[in-house]
Amino acid sequence: MGFSRCILLFLLLLHFSFADDATRNDASVRPKSPSCSMEFVSVKVKNWVNGVEGETVVGLTASFGAPVPSQETEALRLPAVMADPFSCCSKSSSKLSNSIALSMRGDCDFTVKAQVAQSGGAAGLLVINNEEDIFRMECSENDTSLEIKIPVVAIPKSEGDIMQKSIGSGRKVELLLYSPKRPVVDFAVVFLWLMAVGTLICACLWADFVACKQTDNYNQLEPPLSGTNSEENTENEVVDINAKGAVIFVIAASAFLLVLYFLMSAWFIWVLIVMFCIGGSQGMLACVVALILRMCRGCGRKTIKLPFLGDVSLLSCFVFPFCVAFAIFWAANQNASYAWIGQDILGISLMINVLQLARLPNIKVASVLLCCAFCYDIFWVFISPLIFHESVMIAVARGDNSGGAAIPMLLRIPRFFDPWGGYDMIGFGDILFPGLLVSFSYRYDKANKKGVLSGYFLWLVFGYGFGLFITYLGLYLMDGHGQPALLYLVPCTLGLTVILGCVRGELKDLWNYGDEPSSNRSDKA
């Protein structure tokens, strides 16, 4: 089995079909307690130490108290004062007037802390959690003392400890609380939609319109198969997916997802990053070499013989180090604000290469694969919480068990127009699985000499784009809760293929296409 096949199988096994934002804040959640009527709203806590602005902290309002301003210009910049006692459960000996009080969590109800801070003249209260998360401060059902007229905000332990140490060392700490509203339309998701649909179209048309057909196999860093011609080499590089393999894959993917869920850690993330860099650099090499050969067909004729690889082109030897350097640079700077660009370039290159190496022979196999993936997505997003008390797929995608580190097997783009920032993202599987079917439709149309409108490719591209639109609409309507994208993409692609096949009387041919002996097949793609 060639190196490309190994990368293909690894990538497919690592697919995670989700359209979830790992950094989206819970901006509006109704509290459970009937005694409180306020919504939980995310808050930005800007802070200054001796006049120097620090990193903005994200907090969450209580289900009681006054709302915070939605505009930064409407908020007041006030000094921060630690309550004494720090629990803020009794009258504070420190002066809280015209300041924002800091309190630790525990020892009394949240409403008691708020009443103590308010009676001391504080303009707001920050409650520091004893754990590294943002908790919800609710009222008890029997609590009737809700005359709280100051905002009450919870913040994580680490940020609270930094503020506490700064105040304890005598430095002046100032805070400003405000809660900007998210835009109604997320424009970043439009660019992500274009990126996903464009990748799918490009991968399907790549072989005919970009890649240059060669009379040798020297444009890859792999040894040519001895005793075979170039056409046979090309066929050997293609992985035909069968129905049995499709079922086994979904079972293996489920097992691997559980392994990630239980064993995910920072070092395990780095293993995935290394494998992603290997596959991404391989895909980038194939794409870059193909583009260069398209512009200069004679560039790949000169070869060099390498140990274990045999004859490879000088062009590949020249391009490969740059691809590896690009992947290493991305891995070393993956937390930088611009890292998403490198990740998307590597990911798109890898997916284009995968869709050149893998193919579905007919709709029968496509139905098995996509229906299994359809059930896989729904189970691990919606049903797994009944067993594991949380969505396994969303937990893995968000990196909940790895300190927030996320897997790199996705395309992402920043929310440029959202004051809360974060990323919109889509898993590779949400492009690869429908892409296998769309790629088959293009090969089928080409082999049967179908026109643009009488064929299937254009309609499936429209179906995929519409399904992806419905996915993000569902994400918006579900207030950012992770959605199984294949729940929408499979009906809009496979379902559309079956409907068109029935209407045109070609469903039987689509279903059994490729099952006849190879000598009678017109599709050699």
Contact between residue 27 and residue 111 where contact means Cβ atoms under 8 Å apart: no
* Encoded tokens for 3: 């190196």
Helix (H, G, I), strand (E, B) or coil at 105: coil
* Encoded tokens for 56: 């903005």
The DSSP letter of residue 403 is: T
* Encoded tokens for 255: 């097992």
pLDDT at 328: 95
* Residue 129 to residue 150: CA distance in whole angstroms: 19
* Residue 114 to residue 65: CA distance in whole angstroms: 8
pLDDT at 390: 81
**Known active-site residue 430:** yes
Report angle CA 280, 480, 408 to the nearest 5 degrees: 15
The HSE-up count of residue 304 (CA atoms within 13 Å, CB side) is 8
481: nearest Cα among 30, 19, 61, 39: 19
State the catalytic residue, choosing from 21, 344, 418, 430. Answer: 430
pLDDT at 460: 96
pLDDT at 220: 46
In the predicted model, residues of the chain with pLDDT beneath 70 are: 1-37, 140-146, 211-237, 298, 300-301, 308-310, 398-406, 479-482, 515-525
pLDDT at 97: 87
Q: Which residues contact 318 (CB under 8 A, 6 or more apart)?
A: none
User: Exposure of 122 by Cβ count < 10 A (0-12 exposed, 13-18 middle, 19+ buried)?
Assistant: buried
312: nearest Cα among 275, 285, 274: 285
pLDDT at 268: 78
State the catalytic residue, choosing from 344, 377, 424, 445. Answer: 377
Q: Which residue has the tokens 């179908």?
A: 450
The HSE-up count of residue 25 (CA atoms within 13 Å, CB side) is 25
Contact between residue 134 and residue 29 where contact means Cβ atoms under 8 Å apart: no
Q: Which residues contact 365 (CB under 8 A, 6 or more apart)?
A: 241, 242, 243, 246
The DSSP letter of residue 313 is: E
Residue-wise pLDDT tens digits, 237-296: 677 888 888 888 888 888 888 887 887 777 778 888 898 999 999 999 999 988 888 887
**Known active-site residue 216:** no
